[in-house]
Every structure is written in C-alpha cells, then in structure tokens.
Structure 1
Amino acid sequence: MASPTSQRVPKACDACNRRKVRCNGQHRCQQCEHLDLLCTYTENHSARSRKHALRRGTVISKYKSGTPKSTTRTPLLPLTTSRLPTSRLPTSYFSSLLPDYMTYVYPFSPIITDTEVRHSISKMDTEREHAAFVYAFTAVTLDLTRASQSQSTLTPSTSTSTQITELLRQSVETQQPLVIGFRPSILRAMTSIFIQMCAMSLGQYDLGFFYLREAISMIQILGVDKASTLSDLDITERARRQRLYWQCFIHERFMSIVYFSPVTLPPHAQFPEEDPLSVELGLGSGIQQGWTQVIKTFCMLDASFISLWIGDRSRVTASWVEAKHRELDDALWELEVSTLSELQQADLVVTRQWMRTLLWQMAMSNCLLSSHASCPSLELEMPLQLSSQLRRFLTKISQNTIRVHGSSMISKLLEIINTIADVVIHVPQATREETTCRIDDIVFMQGVVLSFHNLQVMSKNILLDKFRVIRARFSHIEVASQLAV
C-alpha cells in the first residue's frame, strides 16, 4: 500500500494552487490553517492556470488583508446591548419567590435584601448584571425550597433540577464578559455565590469551586478585607460588605474540608457591625445573632485545623485534640443557640456535630483513640454518643427544616452517618441491647439522609454498602432488617 504522504489529492485549494505548494485537500487545508488564510475551492480553470499564478507573498498578503478567515464564523455579539431579550418567565414569577427567599435564603446569605431583589427584577430586561442576578436568585431559592414546593409551582413539564440548571445557564450566559476596565460589584459577587451553591447541589463540584473563587476574587478587588477601604463607607454598606466577606469565608472553609482544597481567606478583622438601617430592611436581630454564631463556628476551622486535615495528620497531638474539643463543647454556645429560630438551630447544631466528627477522625488517623480516654474526642466510641445526641435533636424539629439547608447539610450528615456506621462495623461488639440502640440510631439517620432530593448516586451507594455489611453482620438484631440495601 502506498504511504499517506505519496497519495495525490484530486484538487488543491485556490491559495495553495496559486502559490504552487502542496495541499492536503481538506476542508481547511494544512497550509491555510498554518498561515491563517481563507481556504476555498473553485471550478474556475482560468483562475487556476499557471499564467494566472502570483508570487507566494502576494497571495498571502491578499488573503490576509481585509478578508474574513472563515465563511462560517459566527460574528461576535456586542459587549453591551440597549435591551436584553425578555425572559420567558413572567416578572410576577420572580417576585412570587421573594417570601421564600427571605425565609430560607437570606438568613444564611444576608447581603441582598428583598427590596434590592425587586429592583433587580425591574431592571433585568435592560441591564445584564441585574438579569444574571435574578436568574441566580431564582435558582438558589428553588433549590433550597424544593422539598416544600409542589410541582404546580413550576413551569409546565419541568422538574425542579431541570429548571435550576436552565436558570444557571441563563445567569452565566447573560452576565457581562470580564474585559479590560471591568469593576466588580456586590451584586455580581452574590450572583457567583448563588451559582456556586446551586452547582454544588447539582453535583457540579468543580463548577462550584470556580464560582466561589470568582466571588472571592471580586471581594478582594473591592478591598472588602481592607480597613482603609471600608472606612470611607457608611455603616450600612460597610456592614453589608463585611457580611459578604464572611459569607465567602464560610463557604471556602466548608469546601476546604469536604474537597481538601486550600483556603485563601483569613478571618476578617471583625464581625459584621450591627446596623439599625439593615434591621429595618430585613436583617432582624435574630438573623444577626444567628449569622454571628455561624461565623464563630466556622472560625474554629482555623489555619491549624485546615492544615492538619488536608496535610500531614501525623502532627495531630492529643493536647491539640483536647483543646479543640473544649472549643466545640461550650455550654454558653448551647444557651445562645437555644434562643434562635428552628432553622438556625438546625444548621448550627448539625455543623457542630459534623466538626466533632472531623476532630475524632483526625485523632483516629494518628492512632490517638482509646476505650478509656479522659477527653470524649479521644474515645473510641465517641461517634456513637454523637449519634444519640443528634437523634434527640432531630426528633424535635421537622424534616423539612433540615432539607432546606441544601447540599451543605447533606454533606455534613453523610460524614456523620458514615462515621457512625464504620464504628458500628469495626469496634468490638457490645451487648445485644447496646448494639440494638446503635443500629436503631443508624436507621433513624438513614431516614433523614435518604430523604434529601440532591443525594448524589455515589454517596448513596457508599452508604448502602455499609448498611448491607451491618445487616449481614448483625442479622440476629431485628432492627438491622430496616436498613436499606
């Protein structure tokens, strides 16, 4: 067989033919691709004859000067437009979500008030930034309230996940491109955070990581971490930017633990200031107190904790575990949290139990556990104690209160229940009564975790595999038969 280099093409393109160079005959040949020329084929024999041939340099100049490089290239859209295409969803639909937004989203993202959301809705047909935010606001509100939403609240023949995915696409495609002269805004940063939250719920973790880093970049450009920049602002705007900083801080710390990624934001110099005007606009004292408690909780995931979690755990010492346990076991904290709303309590209590589980895992990684330790976080069966405590709390609140916290809540609960299952499987067998109580706690937690709409298939399968082991190992325990397989 002849080698590919020896085969002749039936016809060279116009540019190669006039320059008398070898052409591979493709739709856009190698020569034209290399020189960035228009590649065409014509049947005009006179145009291709030797007497009409031109010097090679002349052909290149002709094809490069003012000639489009491809006849099929899509023209670039303008960076700005006087009027954006009208959304397929009516304005009333976006406005109807505001009560749910203020109830379920705003207490944990207290940056953009309902008044400001209404303003963005009114501007979304003419300004890209406002339109992109409204799409993201709608997506995150649907995501966090879908457990209590009936299908009738959605557009016809559209599942919630499908609608959220479409809203994210619209938000991303509507945003103004980042070009020279771009200056970020609080609204644009919150758009990125809402996209990140929805991406995580949909299992798009890399996308969520990207948009969180985009929001962090914006607050750094805005100088939210600099006291000199904030001092020029009035207290309302200054407090709001402080809350935005802490929002990014909390999300980054959470992603660092779950996905073993490094952190870039240190704690802000101060907690968000209390602003009377913000209280009038929606940030009630209860929301302010709850938000401060969330900040204090995530501050315990300090530099040493993150470094040991994602790095060398052989440096974890018993004294460090004991000190961190004392931070987490704060009686004053329990008293302060008891005055908050059920929604806030659910987030804070589960987060604390999640952190206690992480601390126990780090102690276990360095073989610091024992059956008779002086510190609970160093005890071999400590996760079983957490299981009982968490069950007592969860039985006092509605399941919907847990589910509306979205993907972050399911990640924390999965960490807890997986750890409890591992302990039940691997620790020395206890009495029949103790074993029954342990498995009964797992059965209860199973009902909570499996009720989440956004439980990813891989996470579910890992959990079910452990349930199968428990069912097989403790087949003589009646309650074990209630574990899913």
Structure 2
Amino acid sequence: MTKLPPSRSKYSRPCDSCSIRKVKCDLKTPCSRCIHHNLNCTNIRIRKKCGPKRIHEKTRETINQISGGQQQQLVEEDEFIPVENLLPCLQIYQTFFPGVWPVVSVAQLISVLMNKSYNNSPDTLSAYSLSCAISAAVIVQVSFLKNKNHLFPISDIIKNIDFVSQSIRARDMFNYRLHPSLDTLLTSFFLYVYYVNTETGTPAALNYLRESISTAQILGLHNPSTYTNKSPAEVHRMRKIYYLLLVTERFTAIEDCLPVILEPSIPLPSLEDEEYPILISGFRELVKIFAIPDKSFFDRFISLNTNTSTIPSSTWIVNVQQQLGNIRIMENAPDIQKLNIIISKYWMKSLTWKLAEKNNLLTELEPSLSIRFPFTIVNDFLEETKDLPISSYESNGPGVCVKLLAMVDTLVDAINTSHDSSGLTSLHGVISLLVQLKNDISLPMNEYNKIINMSKNITVDNSIRNQGYISELGSDDSSERSEHEENEPSPFTQMTMAFWSAGTTPFEVGSSTTTTGPFSENSLSDLYNQLY
C-alpha cells in the first residue's frame, strides 16, 4: 500500500511578540517565550494582505533574470563584437589620431583581444570595452568630414554597430569601479569624446570626463611619488594620459564653466621615451598652451560669468601672452596635430585678451594689451594655417568651431571698441573657415548683437568682399556649388552672406567700390530668425 504524503499543516498564527521577533511560537496562551521574557502574550495585530494575484511585469523580469541567469550569460558571450569589426576604427585611430590622443597602443589592445575568453577575464573585458569606446569616438569624430571616404573607409555595417552600449556593458560585467586601471580611465575618456560630439550629449560627456579624472586621482597620476619604481614605458604612458586629461579638462572648463581640478604637478612626457618623437613633441607644445595659464586663469575666466572675478595684473596678462607666443611646432608634424596646436594657441591668446578687456586693463603702451591686438591674433592665426587642408580642421571635431567662434567674439569686440574697419578682413577670413566646416552650431545671441552694433558705425571697403570663400560661392565653379546646393546653407554661410550684404541685393563679385554707411540691420534680423 502506497503511503500518502503528509498533508500540509493548517496555517498557525504565532503571538504578536513572537511574530515581531521572528521566532517560533508554541501557540500556547500565554506562550512559553512570552512567559520567559516577561512579555504580554497577545494576538491582536491586523493580518497583512497577501501579494497581488497578477504578477507585475517588473517582478516577472526579475524572476526570469534570477532563474535564467546562467543561460543569459551564455547568450551574452555570443554578442561580443568580432575583433575584425573593431580593427577598421582602431586602424584609423592608429593612422590619424595618435598626435591628438597619444595614449593607446593599438597593437597591445589587439593582442589582448585575440584572447577569445571574455568570461571572467577583467583584462580582456577591459581591453574590449576600451576598444569599443575608441571605435565610437573615432566614428563620431570623422563624421564631421565632408569627404571622408578616401581617408576613412568605414563600412555602413560597422557604422551601425552600437559601440557605446557594448563598451558600457563589457565594463559593467567585471565591475570596473572596483578595478580602476589606465584602461578603465581611458574608456571613460573616449566615452566623453563620443558624447561631447553628439547632440544633447554634453551632460553625459561631462560625467564621463569627471569619472576619468577621478580615476586618475585614485591611481595617483597627479602625485610624483606614484611614478617611483615604475618602468620608463609605464611612466611615459601615465604622464601622457594625465596631461591629456589636463588639456581636455581646461578646455571644458572654459566652455562649460566648470572648476579646474588637475594641476601640472608632474614632469611632461619625455621625448627620449617616445617611439614617435615628432608626435610627442607636438603634444608637449599643446600641453604648454593649456598649462602656461595657471589654474587661477581659468578660475578668473569662469568667474566672469558669475560676476565674482578677481582682477589679474597687467604683468600677469603680458607674461601669459609672451609664453604663448613662444609655442613652436615642428614642420614635419601631422596636419591634424599642427592645426590643433595652432588653433589652441590663438584661442588661448584671444581668451587672455578678453580677460584683460573685461578687467579694464587695455592700454596702447603694451602691444598685447592694445585694443587692436585681436587683429594681430587672427591675422597670425590665418597666416600660420593658410597651407593646412580643411580636413585638418574637420578631423579635430566641432571643438574647432568653438575656438573659431571665440576668436570671432574677441575680434568683434575689438572692432566695436576701436571703430577700425581694417579688422573686417580678418573677421571675413575666420567666418569663411566656419562656413566651410560641417557643423550645427548656431550663432549665439550675444554675437549677433555685437555684429549689429558693429555694423552701425563703420565704413566698409567692398574690395574686402572679393576675398575668401564667399567669392567662390558666387562664382560659376560647379565643383564648389555641388558641395552646398544639396542642402540649405549652413548657419555660418547665411550669417556671412548677410554680413557682407549692404542690403537685400546680393553683392556682385568683382565690385571694388567703397560703400559708406551701416550694414542692413533688417537683413541681419531676418537672417537670425532663420538660425533656430
């Protein structure tokens, strides 16, 4: 005879004190535990309702994740991007961007990635995560080039891969916060590069930049003693990473009014320890541009927006300008790096002059403090970059437009203050560059108002209009037209055309007559309404 399984015992209700203490009750009245502890043995609490009969979707997902965890892990193992799909972006990085971001050995990354066992391998997962972050940064960086197919051959299949999600997923798999390393630092940095170049990505970009800076501090990259007993190769790489963060943070501090954290507290990377001395020589000059003005410079500049500025001395301003003027670039440096150094140098000189202007330190007794010094800044910039291809601008991303706009802002201030129309030629040159660059940046309201004010009281020589890119747009050259007729003119193209129009009638190329009087304020107003 088959023995039946014991029936389930009837629900028992422990007394209140045993229930609260979560101990077994003998169900007597009073129970033995209450007697032993001299407690009132009651049973008056209200019984709680049971859970819902219908399972919520969130609860179902949680149960499935727990019960199917092992199977889910196996599925994820098959979802890693093959190494062959990472190689094109890594190759572009190795070929074109080591002078801009000289911090990654692609050969070493690939050698780690060739280990196919990602599971339970923090080193491989970290290398994979970094490779995906670099790929995402490279794709968005080269997207600003108009003619990139012959320089950056990336297939549509690779462009459509979600490298960012892969990078974030991989580093979460080994809990990267518990394993800070140079690779996890650089992963955060390249995620910053990706998001800072995407629309509405600034908050995420700033978070990733701060994360990379915090990791650098945790690793002690700011502390000279950290480099003791390290190999020369390790020291060299760590220094490059630290100063790349310093340069990036100081540029971001100006643009987003964030306080500066990092200081130039360690020696610069050494030329002797670099496999490619030309690249690191240019990188050192770039670092100097951002390190010459000390932390107080950035604090003062940021404080201009909060009306809490501390006044710098004229001597301090002049010294910064002189040191920036001493920055030199090797002739055989790559065009991308050369442009990055030159534009950063003159952008910083413009900001330094702006700081002097805001604090009423301008004087004609010192050239770098004169009202017309921005004319010199922009003229020198245009002269030094005249032989560089437009691709060198585009390859450096939209940050180039930000720096050019800062030069425009400074130059317009100088023209407004001096009432000297000779600065219009330089202004035309910078705006012509902006016209040629592919970007979605709109003309800021304060810049518009400055141009309006400037246009009211200056005398303009129409011969200026024949110079630069606008003349080319007005020509019959079909090769120039073909690049622009597919879409509406960029905001900068519209701005420039309106700026140089003395009315609603388009100017004629070849005209050399002189027009005395203001630009058309109405045409500028109509234009500005189209920018948004």
Q: Is the contact made by 2:137 and 2:190 (CA closer than 8 Å) also made in structure 1? A: yes
Question: How many Å separate the matches in 2 of 1:393 and 1:216?
Answer: 33
Change (3 A) 1:157 1:101: closer
Question: How many Å separate the matches in 1 of 2:334 and 2:283?
Answer: 12
Tell me the SS of whatever aligns to 1:106. coil
Tell me the SS of whatever aligns to 1:349. helix
Does 1:133 pair with 2:113?
no
Does 1:384 pair with 2:381?
no
Which residue of structure 2 aligns with residue 484 of structure 1? 497
Question: How many Å separate the matches in 1 of 2:74 and 2:225?
Answer: 37
Does 1:186 pair with 2:182?
yes
Deviation at 1:121, TM superposition (A): 4.3
Does 1:310 pair with 2:302?
yes
Q: Is the contact made by 1:249 and 1:265 (CA closer than 8 Å) also made in structure 2? A: yes
Question: Greater CA radius of gyration, 1 or 2?
Answer: 2
Does 1:366 pair with 2:362?
no
Tell me the SS of whatever aligns to 1:150. coil
Which residue of structure 1 aligns with residue 236 of structure 2? 239
Which residue of structure 2 aligns with residue 413 of structure 1? 404
Which residue of structure 2 aligns with residue 12 of structure 1? none
Q: Paired residues, what number?
A: 408
Change (3 A) 1:463 1:118: farther
Work out which of the residue numbers 275, 279, 292 in structure 1 matches 2:284: 292
Deviation at 1:452, TM superposition (A): 3.1
Question: How many Å separate the matches in 1 of 2:381 and 2:77?
Answer: 49
The amino acid of 2:382's aligned partner reads R
Work out which of the residue numbers 397, 413, 419 in structure 2 matches 1:429: 419
Change (3 A) 1:469 1:171: farther
The amino acid of 1:171's aligned partner reads S
Which residue of structure 2 aligns with residue 393 of structure 1? 384
Residue identity over aligned pairs, in percent, reads: 17
Q: TM-score, normalised by structure 1?
A: 0.73
Question: How many Å separate the matches in 2 of 1:208 and 1:421?
Answer: 30
Which structure has more helix as a fraction of its residues? 1
Deviation at 1:261, TM superposition (A): 0.9
For residues 367-426 of structure 1, give each alpha carbon's deviation from its aligned partner in whole angstroms, at most 9, with x where no partner exists.
Answer: 1223x232x2210111111121111122111111122111332221111122213333x1
Question: How many Å separate the matches in 2 of 1:103 and 1:443?
Answer: 33
Matches within 5 A, 1:332-343: 333-334=327-328, 336-338=329-331, 340-343=333-336
Question: How many Å separate the matches in 2 of 1:138 and 1:181?
Answer: 22
Question: How many Å separate the matches in 1 of 2:173 and 2:91?
Answer: 31
Question: How many Å separate the matches in 1 of 2:281 and 2:176?
Answer: 40
Which residue of structure 2 aligns with residue 72 of structure 1? 58
Which residue of structure 1 aligns with residue 426 of structure 2? 441
Tell me the SS of whatever aligns to 1:453. coil
Change (3 A) 1:70 1:128: farther
Which residue of structure 2 aligns with residue 59 of structure 1? 48
Question: How many Å separate the matches in 2 of 1:462 and 1:173?
Answer: 42
Give ranges in structure 2 of 5+ residues lacking alignment: 1-42, 119-123, 471-495, 499-532
Q: Is the contact made by 1:239 and 1:275 (CA closer than 8 Å) also made in structure 2? A: no
Change (3 A) 1:87 1:414: farther
Matches within 5 A, 1:160-309: 163=160, 166-176=162-172, 182-203=178-199, 204-274=201-271, 276=273, 279=275, 284-309=276-301
Q: Is the contact made by 1:471 and 1:480 (CA closer than 8 Å) also made in structure 2? A: no
Change (3 A) 1:177 1:412: farther
Change (3 A) 1:363 1:470: closer
Deviation at 1:86, TM superposition (A): 4.5
Question: How many Å separate the matches in 2 of 1:474 and 1:93?
Answer: 57
Q: Is the contact made by 2:250 and 2:260 (CA closer than 8 Å) also made in structure 1? A: yes
Which residue of structure 1 aligns with residue 84 of structure 2? 92
Question: How many Å separate the matches in 1 of 2:236 and 2:314?
Answer: 39
Deviation at 1:197, TM superposition (A): 1.3
Deviation at 1:358, TM superposition (A): 0.7
Deviation at 1:154, TM superposition (A): 4.9
Deviation at 1:189, TM superposition (A): 0.9
Q: Is the contact made by 1:94 and 1:138 (CA closer than 8 Å) also made in structure 2? A: yes
Deviation at 1:96, TM superposition (A): 2.0
Question: How many Å separate the matches in 2 of 1:463 and 1:264?
Answer: 30
Change (3 A) 1:233 1:350: same
